[in-house]
Structure 1
Amino acid sequence: MGKANKVILFNPLVTKYKARIPLSILQVAASIYGNYEFVLVDGNREDDPWSKIKNYLNTGEFHYFGCTVMPGPQLRQAIPFTKRIKEEYPDITIIWGGYFASNQYKVCMESGYVDYIINGIGDLAFPALLDALENSTDLFKINNLIFRKNEELIKTHKITSIDMDSLKTFPYQELERFYPITSYFGKTHLGLRTTLYHSSFGCPFTCSFCGIVPIFEARWKGMSAERLYREIKYLKDEYGVDSVEFCDNNFFVSEKRVRRFCELIQDEHIKWWGEARIDTLDKFSDETLSLMENAGCKMIFLGAETGNEETLKAIDKGGTQNASQMIRFAARMKRFNIIPEYSFVLGFPAETPQKVMAMIDEDINFIKQVKEANPDTEIIIYVYSPVLTEGSDLYESVKASGFQFPEKLDDWLDQEWKGFDLRKNPLTPWLTAKMINKIRNFEVVLNARYPTAQDVKLSKFQRKTISLLSQIRYKTNFFNFPYELKFLLRFWLRYRQPEIEGATML
């Protein structure tokens, strides 16, 4: 293999707080480990990641730059760094992957500085692309690839599931060459050494507001419980990990897999968190939920979305989820000492502004019903941001309203799009300033009344004080101008919202 064929794998900045282990580039590194030399650059760990990248490129030993690009903060480094590489090192082949690259592939490829996109699963596509470029073989035979051929945009056949047990294990020892692995672990609400792990691809549902639907097309494939247990056991034995956040899109699809994993892990004293659907978990037996509790499950993120059943149908939520079930299940979880974390999406489009506001008010009241059923229920609030799910009724109504995504890749760096994919700055024509203020002010009061358990730096005194101060506002629905709570949350509690920053890691 030639000297100039090494690969830079770059993980752009996600958070200004403690860095989490870069699973996306580790997954790609695993796919080429032993066949191609690579270096890892984590934008979350570097004061000046561009200088690190530039120093590697100046050696002349690198020919490929692979970048994972999620919507939101990662764009702030991914776009300018990639553009600069293409300008200063035009011979470097640039390969993007991640949800943003797959869902916004047209604007990425039209930028002129992205050469190839891995469309969805890249464990087979990335090494196959390198092999094809090294040996000048046919790109059309590679699945999950987007590229240009004679000015024509080509999308090859896409596979949406893969046998995860057949994949190589993460090369943690290679990450250690660049960054101490234990520095990625930290104290959270789960434990003293929490890490991330990803054990499955996709989700078997087609919610039209979800960014993974166009990528996995309602397919789900999970690692076997036995291999998952071995992977987590290795992290515990080798690095002292005592807790795990499973960042699967839907960890709990298979009750059988969950049960088997719990049976294997329950004596290891590992605490864990994962994502699920309410209607799926509600079908789990009490025996399974009790086993989950005994096996260390402490909290589950659940997509409630809305208490309006007409809206649930309109957004293609699918399944059997309904308002009464959400309240009943929240109450049911009190019996198992597992905290349900319900996420809601407010501000869906409607025929008139009056109806949009009425839906917001309805969801606020519904959230309060959920809290009454189980006060320990964590509430996550998002403002609806359109997802490029072409052909869905919801997206068609969004386009009809006049909304459109940026036409140029550089435009994603504009200030007004900075918070778009965090679902805090939706830029949608049907949402007025009054509506956004109502949502945000309710969120302030709610966070004060029920501070999240995930912010481990808050003392009992702080929690009790802010909760008491917000009690009257919460009870009377007086959400306007909560300046005193905003001040205390920002400067006294330094409050962190899990939907933006994840659970606190110290």
Structure 2
Amino acid sequence: MNKVLLFNPKSAEKKYRIPNSILNIAASVDGKYNWAIIDGNCEANPIQKIESYLNTGEYKYLGFTVMPGPQLRQAIIAAKIVKERFPHTKMIWGGYFPSNHSDSVLYSGYVDFIINGPGDHAFPLLIDALENDQPFEFIKNLIYKDSRDGKIFKTAKEDLIDQDSLPPLPYDKLNNFYNLTKFLGKTYLGQKTMAYHSSIGCPFTCSFCAVVPIYEARWKAKSAQNVYKDVKYIKDKWGADSIEFHDNNFFVSEKRAVEFSRLIAPENMTWWGMARIDTMSKFKDSSLQAIRDAGCKCIFFGAESGNNAILEQMDKGGTQTGDQIIEFAERLKKFDIIPEYSFVLGTPAPTPEQVQAQIDFEIDFIKQVKAVNPKTEIIIYTYSPVPTPGSELYKQVLESGFKFPQTLEDWISPAWENFDLRKNPLTPWLTPEMIDKIRNFETVLNGVYPTVTDIRMSELKKRTIRLLSGIRYRANLYQYPYEIKLLQRFWKYRQPEIQGF
């Protein structure tokens, strides 16, 4: 009775992705402990599936990966049921949500341990300690509740691991549980798009980002050669024709990005990744051309704001400015790389008038970006706080009266369920009228410039929406865009920030 069951809660409606995070944990115990994976995206009743494994009496450890947002509901419901019916099961959570909200998770009584960051070493060491009744207090990257006084205890952070030293992900064993082609979905990138993580962390300290408290401005990457080897294996064995790199920051190293591009170019795959504008703006033209020639079709950038004061408030770091955001969007036109810019509207300010002025500034700035490069994809989020201790922005958030939910059940209440999608921020400094203005502008903007990632919408439908939205856009009339919303709903317009590609 020492097998390990690993659970990836549901995060998507139809387009599944290779469960890389939980597969990393499987790799960490592979060959030492028997393991099984349950993917909530692929199961009609994943809780029943979990119970079927636990009923055998062979599985003592249950690991969850939990991101904020869609995964949270299924994770909480499953954890509660498992703890009630199988109280001796050791439940271990990892991922951004438990790492950033450890008190809510551990005081729930459902979860025994949290892996605080990478679990490649921490998870197997914890299983070893529990199996052999040995101390676990000195295992790095752990959070747990002390059995003596009930206080939450965090162990020291481990240095980031050399990614090339880690064992390969057990794709073939995953295929024994779910046909791996199920995870290769059709997207605007290709017919069989694979998800891949080539690095962990990010070397910046943006105070609105959930990555910062976990990785503390550190970044480690696999070599270009090993990334290429993994991608080619999945291409050759299961037919992948495109790649989504889910790294927090794929393009930290120009040399690595170019080397990978030259390796992957002969494979004729299209791909997408995430970057910083101030990092990539320093890339040579020859590097950007090599990246495009290798099939890179679109790059996601956290633009956040065109207002330099807001960038400073967000601790954006680096050298990014509003002027640079516009200049780089224009520069990418000649390489035919689509810049996908995300903006965060509604950061705290001393007065409602200042908050509203900031929103109006960003709306005007987004229109300036579109003017220089109409192909720029725009993703709009409403600011929602991230617990980044010590940051000035987080202090402002707390002073405004904002509070996170205190219990796990509160996190899946109707008011909080979409919190991390930044659609319902519950932030005291934002009025309903401000939220409406942001959402209405987004509706009009998406009407004039429908996303290229929506592969279902025909050109005729796009032209129709553009015609209706163009008058509003040019005249700055964003209120009550019901006619656009009706068409978007009827034609099931796809929003990348919620639904991905």
Q: TM-score normalized by structure 1?
A: 0.98
Residue of structure 1 equivalent to 2:380: 381
Contact 1:160 1:216 in 2 (8 A): no
Which of the numbers 492, 496, 499 marks the counterpart of 2:497?
A: 499
Number of aligned residue pairs: 499
1:277 matched to 2:276? The reply is: yes
Quick one: percent identity of the two aligned structures? 58
Q: Secondary structure of the equivalent of 2:415?
A: helix
Contact 1:121 1:160 in 2 (8 A): no
Displacement of 1:464 after TM fit? 1.5
Partner Cα distance (1:486, 1:405) in 2:
31
Residues 235-267 of structure 1: per-residue CA shift (max 9 Å, x gap): 111111110000000000000111111111111
Residue of structure 2 equivalent to 1:35: 32
Displacement of 1:141 after TM fit? 2.4
Residues 157-194 of structure 1: per-residue CA shift (max 9 Å, x gap): 11251100011111111111111100111221111111
Residue of structure 2 equivalent to 1:294: 293
Partner Cα distance (1:319, 1:194) in 2:
32
Residue of structure 2 equivalent to 1:424: 423
Q: Secondary structure of the equivalent of 2:70?
A: coil
Q: Secondary structure of the equivalent of 1:142?
A: coil
Letter in 1 for 2:118: I
Q: Secondary structure of the equivalent of 2:233?
A: helix
1:148 matched to 2:148? The reply is: no
Partner Cα distance (2:218, 2:166) in 1:
18
Pair 1:410–1:170, CA change in 2 (3 A): same
Which of the numbers 85, 105, 114 marks the counterpart of 1:108?
A: 105
1:69 matched to 2:91? The reply is: no
Contact 2:15 2:186 in 1 (8 A): no
Q: Root-mean-square deviation (CA), in Å?
A: 0.8
Q: TM-score normalized by structure 2?
A: 0.99
Partner Cα distance (2:50, 2:166) in 1:
28
Residue of structure 1 equivalent to 2:47: 50
Displacement of 1:196 after TM fit? 0.4
Letter in 2 for 1:282: S
Q: Secondary structure of the equivalent of 1:470?
A: helix
Partner Cα distance (1:19, 1:222) in 2:
24
Residues 439-461 of structure 1: per-residue CA shift (max 9 Å, x gap): 00000001111011111111111
Residues 315-341 of structure 1: per-residue CA shift (max 9 Å, x gap): 100111001111010000000010000
Q: Secondary structure of the equivalent of 1:64?
A: strand
Q: Secondary structure of the equivalent of 1:195?
A: strand
Residue of structure 2 equivalent to 1:468: 467
- 1:53-132 → structure 2 map (5 Å cutoff): 53-132=50-129
Residues 126-168 of structure 1: per-residue CA shift (max 9 Å, x gap): 1111111111122022110111231232211112511000111
Letter in 2 for 1:254: S
Residue of structure 1 equivalent to 2:315: 316
Residue of structure 1 equivalent to 2:135: 138
Partner Cα distance (1:77, 1:371) in 2:
38
Displacement of 1:391 after TM fit? 1.2
Residue of structure 2 equivalent to 1:365: 364
- Larger deviation, residues 155-164 vs 376-385: 155-164
Displacement of 1:17 after TM fit? 2.2
Which consecutive aligned stretches of 4+ in structure 1 deviate over 2 angstroms post-superposition? none
Q: Secondary structure of the equivalent of 1:267?
A: helix
Partner Cα distance (2:346, 2:124) in 1:
42
- Larger deviation, residues 169-178 vs 117-126: 169-178
Partner Cα distance (2:285, 2:303) in 1:
21
Residues 104-145 of structure 1: per-residue CA shift (max 9 Å, x gap): 011111111110000001011111111111111220221101
Displacement of 1:425 after TM fit? 0.6
- Unmatched tracts of structure 1, length 5 or more: none
Partner Cα distance (2:281, 2:468) in 1:
35
Partner Cα distance (2:184, 2:152) in 1:
41
Partner Cα distance (1:112, 1:314) in 2:
37
Residues 332-391 of structure 1: per-residue CA shift (max 9 Å, x gap): 000001000000000001010000000000000000000000000000000000001011
Partner Cα distance (1:140, 1:105) in 2:
17
Letter in 2 for 1:10: F
Which of the numbers 26, 29, 34 marks the counterpart of 2:23?
A: 26
Partner Cα distance (1:343, 1:254) in 2:
21
Contact 1:120 1:160 in 2 (8 A): no
Partner Cα distance (2:466, 2:29) in 1:
51
